[in-house]
Structures are given as C-alpha cells and as structure tokens.
C-alpha cells in the first residue's frame, strides 16, 4: 500500500516541473523567433520609436515639474514695440505705444535701440525717439526690456547704419561696442529700465540680412561689456525661433529668452500654412532644463501674435488672408498656448498690428481680445 502511494505521487511532481520549463522556453523561443522574423529596418524603427517615447515622457515630466514649481508665481504679460515698425504701418508711434500702455496695461515692454537710427553719423548719437518711449513707460509704470546690439527685433534683423554697411565683422566690432556703451550708460539709471536683451536670436542663419556676423567671441565680449557697465540689471539672450537644443556655451545669460512661432507660411516646401508641432509644455521642459543646469529663469520673449502671410508686409494682405494665420480667435488660443508652457513671463509679438487692425482696418476684435487677455492675467 505504501509503495503504491509513493508511485502515485511521483508522476504528479514530475509533470508540474517540466511544464514550467517548457512554458518558459516557449516564450523565450517565441520572442527570439519574432525578432528573427523582423527585418533590420523594422528593428531600427521600433528602437527609434521606443527612444522617442522615452524622450517625450522625460520632457513632459520635466515640464510638469516646472509648471507645478512656478504655478503660484504672478503671470507677467508684455508686448514688443518698434516705433519704426509702427510708422511703416502708417501709425503714429507715440499714439500707438500710449494706446498699448493705457488699454492693454502691460507690465513690461520690449523696446529696440536700432544702431541704424541712433548713430546715423559715426560718433554722433541721437536718442530722442527712445527717450520719449522710456518717458511713456515711466508714466504708466511699465518696465523696459531694452534690446541692445547689432541684431534686434524686426526686419532686417541686423540694423546697420549706412556708414557701417558692408564692412567685415572685425571692423564693426569696436564701433558697435562704443554704441552699446552709449546706450547702456544713457538708460542704466532710468527708473523704467527693467533688463537688457543682448542681440536677438544671435545664431539664427535662415532669417534676416546679417551676412556672417555671428562670432561667439563678439557675443561674449558684448555680454561682458554690458555686465561691467551695468551689473544691476539682468541680461537676456534669446535662442533662435523653434530651434532644437539649448544654449550651453558662453555666455550664460541671467535669463534665457525663447521666440515662439506657431503658424507661418511655408514658402520652401509645402507652399501652404504650417503649424509647428511643438506642444506648449515643450517650452516648459526647455525652461526646466535651463533652471536645473544653470539655475537661470526663462521667458517667452517673442510669442507670435500677428499674421505670417505668404508674401509682402502684413498690411498689404487682405484681412481674409491675415485671418488664416492670426485673428481674434487665434490670438486667444495663442495666449492659452503660451500660458500652458508654465513660463510665467510672456511678451506678445505684434501689438502694433493689433492697433493697426483696430484704427486702420476698423476691426476692433483683435485689440479687444488683447485687452481681455491682459486683464485676465492681472485678475489671476
């Protein structure tokens, strides 16, 4: 009887053990077989897809951390202003800037100091136009983000005086440094000055008329010059529009600026309007990297809020064409897009056009939407 019980138990034990081994071997064999059946390009594609998923998850996690960390900070909204651009649109510059300050009530305004305008004759400086802009900002309690250097916002980006055109970079470096010094010394004690922007998208090659004036040594030298002349105000260096990567080389600015263009006319390949695919949180992840690596803040220094038509000046295009890349509805969505990044300082690009649309095209919708956006930011 005992012998029979022993014999009955043995087959039960032996049956279970081989089944696990066979099952495990079957899974391993199946996985190997699956990979063997894949072609090389399929394996490469799957590997790239996996890396991309991991990268996106990592960047999104950084953005989430950044948004949560800064969510209770005040939202500061500003605008860019160029008297030259306003004049080109048929607007009166002083009236335009005062309307922005009075109606929109921005906390900050990015002003330009075009070399071509303020030193038309070498060694002779005329800052009258920039002076009244600072006076208006002081009147309405707004702070200036003053752009300095050769490359500044608005076409042709590099604003040469006539006497400096066509000269090699080595020959304009000293006169340009002299001009920057005059500009900084004039406004560094002005109550309306908030900060400087040094150059504008300095290394961007595909836009503007700048020849090959992108020496890093010159940028470093200008940064050191401004910092020496005025150690009390921060310096912003702006990265190129929608370019991948991040500035890790010198100079490391006090704050990093980002230009954000969402909908533009693609004249090179598709010949149609094109929306950059970056979600708002993408810029939050870049801001997080800058903060983690360098301990420096980031601002959206140029959030597109005006049309980018197929050709010519904006105002030379019909309102219908303008609406294809920017109108009141798109402006509201663009504001939400910028705020969704988690970055708490945002300067809108194109407020001169808002005012043109209001006063010259008899369409107040964009201007009124802008007023609502700025008011809602103050109420939060």
Q: What is the per-residue pLDDT for 44?
A: 84
> Would residue 252 be called left, alpha or beta, if left means φ above 0 and alpha means ψ between -120 and 50 degrees?
beta
Average pLDDT over residues 189-208: 91
Q: What is the per-residue pLDDT for 160?
A: 95
Q: What is the per-residue pLDDT for 26?
A: 59
| pLDDT of 362 above 90 | yes
Band of pLDDT at residue 62, cut at 50, 70 and 90: very high
Q: What is the per-residue pLDDT for 213?
A: 78
Rounded to 10°, the helix 365-379/328-340 angle is 30
Average pLDDT over residues 77-92: 98
Residues 207-252 pLDDT 10s? 778 877 778 899 999 999 999 999 999 999 987 655 555 556 789 9
State residue 321 phi and psi, 5-degree precision.
-70, -40
| pLDDT of 167 above 70 | yes
Chain position carrying tokens 């601002």: 299
Q: What is the per-residue pLDDT for 30?
A: 55
> Would residue 122 be called left, alpha or beta, if left means φ above 0 and alpha means ψ between -120 and 50 degrees?
beta
Band of pLDDT at residue 4, cut at 50, 70 and 90: very low
Interatomic CA distance for residues 262 and 274, integer angstroms: 8
Of 53-62, 151-160, 237-246, least confident by mean pLDDT is: 237-246
Average pLDDT over residues 78-100: 98
**CA 219, 225, 227, 230 torsion-angle sign:** negative
| pLDDT of 322 above 80 | yes
Residues 37-52 pLDDT 10s? 666 777 788 888 999 9
Count Cα neighbours of 262 within 13 Å in the Cβ-side half-sphere. Answer: 24
CA 37, distance to chain mean position in Å, is: 46
State residue 345 phi and psi, 5-degree precision.
-125, 120
Average pLDDT over residues 276-295: 93
Average pLDDT over residues 131-154: 97
Label each residue of 250-314 as H, E or C.
CCCCCEEEEEECCEEEECCCCCEEEECCCCHHHHHHHHHHHHHHHCCCEEEEEEECCCCCCCCCH
Q: What is the per-residue pLDDT for 214?
A: 79
Of 32-36, 129-133, 288-292, 351-355, least confident by mean pLDDT is: 32-36
Average pLDDT over residues 273-293: 94
Of 220-229, 235-244, 284-293, 304-313, least confident by mean pLDDT is: 235-244
Average pLDDT over residues 4-19: 48
3-state helix, strand, coil in the chain (%, to 5): 50, 15, 35
Interatomic CA distance for residues 118 and 159, integer angstroms: 11
Count Cα neighbours of 127 within 13 Å in the Cβ-side half-sphere. Answer: 18
Highest-confidence range of 43-57, 81-95, 190-204, by mean pLDDT?
A: 81-95
Average pLDDT score, the chain: 90
Count Cα neighbours of 212 within 13 Å in the Cβ-side half-sphere. Answer: 2
| pLDDT of 312 above 80 | yes
Q: What is the per-residue pLDDT for 250?
A: 85
Which architecture does CATH list for 74-379? Alpha-Beta Barrel (3.20)
Question: Concatenated DSSP letters for 22-34?
Answer: HHHHHHHHHHHHH
**What DSSP element (H or E) covers 96?**
helix 93-99
Interatomic CA distance for residues 20 and 5, integer angstroms: 25
Rounded to 10°, the helix 280-294/40-70 angle is 70
Average pLDDT over residues 300-320: 96
Residue 321 is encoded by which pair of tokens? 């064409």
Q: What is the per-residue pLDDT for 6?
A: 44
Domain residue limits, the chain: 74-379
Q: Which residues pair with 347 in a beta bridge?
A: 78
**Residue 249 or 159, more confident:** 159
Question: pTM value?
Answer: 0.87
Residue 352 is encoded by which pair of tokens? 């001169």
Q: Which residues pair with 304 in a beta bridge?
A: 349
CB contact at 8 A, 254 and 230: no
**Residue 211 or 22, more confident:** 211
CB contact at 8 A, 147 and 197: yes
* Helix, coil or strand: residue 239: strand
Residue 268 is encoded by which pair of tokens? 């090179």
């Amino acid at each position: 009887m005992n012998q029979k019980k022993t014999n009955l138990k043995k087959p039960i034990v032996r049956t279970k053990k081989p089944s696990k081994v066979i099952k495990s071997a079957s899974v391993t064999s199946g996985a190997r077989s699956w990979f063997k059946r894949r072609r090389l390009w399929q394996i490469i594609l799957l590997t790239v897809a996996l890396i991309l998923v991991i990268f996106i998850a990592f960047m999104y996690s950084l953005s989430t951390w950044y948004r949560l960390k800064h969510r209770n900070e005040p939202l500061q909204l500003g605008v860019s202003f160029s008297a030259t651009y306003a004049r080109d649109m048929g607007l009166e510059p002083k009236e335009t800037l005062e309307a922005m300050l009075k109606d929109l009530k921005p906390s900050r305004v990015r002003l330009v100091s075009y070399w071509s305008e303020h030193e038309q004759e070498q060694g002779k400086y005329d800052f009258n136009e920039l002076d009244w802009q600072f006076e208006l900002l002081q009147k309405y309690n707004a702070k200036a983000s003053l752009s300095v250097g050769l490359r500044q916002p608005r076409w042709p980006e590099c604003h040469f005086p006539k006497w400096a055109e066509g000269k090699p970079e080595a020959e304009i470096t000293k006169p340009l440094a002299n001009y920057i010094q005059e500009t900084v010394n004039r406004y560094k004690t002005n109550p309306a000055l908030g900060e400087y922007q040094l150059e504008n998208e300095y290394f961007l090659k595909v836009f503007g008329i700048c020849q090959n004036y992108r020496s890093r040594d010159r940028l470093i030298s200008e940064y050191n010059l401004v910092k020496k002349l005025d150690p009390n105000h921060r310096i912003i260096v702006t990265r190129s529009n929608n370019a991948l990567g991040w500035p890790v080389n010198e100079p490391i600015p006090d704050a990093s600026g980002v230009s954000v263009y969402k909908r533009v006319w693609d004249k090179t390949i598709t010949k149609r309007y094109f929306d950059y695919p970056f979600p708002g949180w993408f810029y939050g992840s870049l801001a997080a990297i800058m903060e983690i690596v360098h301990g420096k803040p980031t601002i959206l220094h140029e959030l597109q809020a005006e049309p980018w038509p197929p050709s010519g000046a904006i105002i030379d295009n019909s309102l219908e064409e303008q609406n294809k890349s920017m109108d009141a509805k798109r402006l509201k969505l663009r504001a939400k897009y910028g705020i969704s990044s988690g970055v708490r300082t945002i300067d809108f690009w194109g407020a001169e056009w808002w005012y043109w649309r209001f006063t010259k095209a008899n369409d107040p919708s964009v201007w009124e939407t802008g007023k609502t956006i700025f008011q809602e930011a103050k109420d939060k």
